[in-house]
Amino acid sequence: MTQNYLVKKIFLQRKNKAVTRKIFLSCLFIIQFQFFAIAQEGYLFKFKLKPQHEYLLTVNQNTHTEIVYQGDAEFMKKLKAKGIKTPEKNDNSQFVQSKMTTTDVYNDTAFKIEIDFLRTADNDGKEMIPSGSKIFGHCELNKLPIIDSVMMSGVASRSNNNLMSVFQTAILQVDFPQVKIKIGDVFANQFPITIPQKEHEPAKVNVVTKYRLLKVSESTATFEIMQFYRMDIGKQKIPGTITGEGKGVFVYDMKSDFYKSYELNSTLVYVVKKDNSFVETISKSKLTHESKIIKK
């Protein structure tokens, strides 16, 4: 093998590498340009479940609550007699892991949903939802799912209905507008919740959640969460006010059209004034949702 041959071979190799590099850079430029053009035009997001899939859902919530009591001497004396101190502090945690399975499409329009609770625990490690409990629902193609029924052994039907309502609210929490969203754009969802109370009817609270699109990659889109709680006064006969707000981050999976993670830090303040007493309850919580597709 002559020197001329080797020199020629090395030259050709370098030339081929240079051509390959130019092709790669050109492709990269085209991809980046197309991505930039799409970003300028906006993105059309759609939260949806897909048939014949299995989703592993994990929810964690940690809450710290402080209750401050103020009032005249008689009111404070009654509290002391009952062993109630001010401020009264309480920490609570909840863990729920479930598997959501979707069936094949039937009637060419919809598919069924089944949610199995794998593990639930409170801060004492006690089971919150009986093992074997299930939630059933259905979903029309390209629409949000609907919860139909709950099966929990040894639990009153009222609790079943409450759980059904909680899951339906969680599903509807992120409802994307049917328009393209650009980075920096904001859209809002609103839904009601009820807060149980002793000796009074449940308080009705309107929750407004705003989402701002922060950034988009090939695989995910990241949204800032801004949440606000306002009591629906209406005809409610409740001696107090409820306010609050929350902030967090929501990550949307572009390939699965489903959320990847949802984290929210919120504060809820409930103030009750009656006669010569004043009670303020402040609850601070951190809520995290994570999902993972375990079967396609």
List the chain pLDDT tens, one digit each, 296 residues.
444 433 343 334 444 444 444 433 343 333 333 333 334 467 888 888 889 999 998 989 999 999 998 888 888 888 888 888 888 899 999 898 889 999 999 988 999 999 898 888 888 888 888 878 888 999 988 888 888 888 876 655 555 555 666 666 566 567 788 888 999 999 998 877 777 666 667 778 888 999 999 999 989 999 999 999 887 655 556 667 888 999 999 999 998 888 899 999 999 998 888 777 888 999 999 999 999 988 77
Distances (CA, A) of 143 to 77, 148, 234: 57, 15, 32
Residue 268 identity: L
Cα→Cα distances 245→64, 170, 224, 248, 264, Å: 15, 17, 14, 11, 10
SS3 call for 20: helix
CA trace torsion 209, 213, 215, 218 (10° rounding): 100
The predicted pLDDT at position 84 comes to 85
Q: What pLDDT is attached to residue 262?
A: 92
CA pair distance 71, 287, nearest whole angstrom: 34
**265 to 54, 63, 160, 186, 270: CA distances (angstroms):** 28, 10, 27, 19, 17
Query: Looking at residue 166, what is its pLDDT?
Result: 64
Q: Give the pLDDT of residue 110.
A: 93
Residues 6+ apart with CB under 8 A from 184: 212, 213
The two tokens of residue 16 are 């081929």
Residues 6+ apart with CB under 8 A from 222: 213, 214, 215, 216, 249, 250, 251, 252
pTM: predicted TM-score of the whole model, two decimal places: 0.76
For the chain, the distance separating the N- and C-terminal CA atoms, rounded to the nearest angstrom, is 56
Q: What is the pLDDT of residue 112?
A: 94
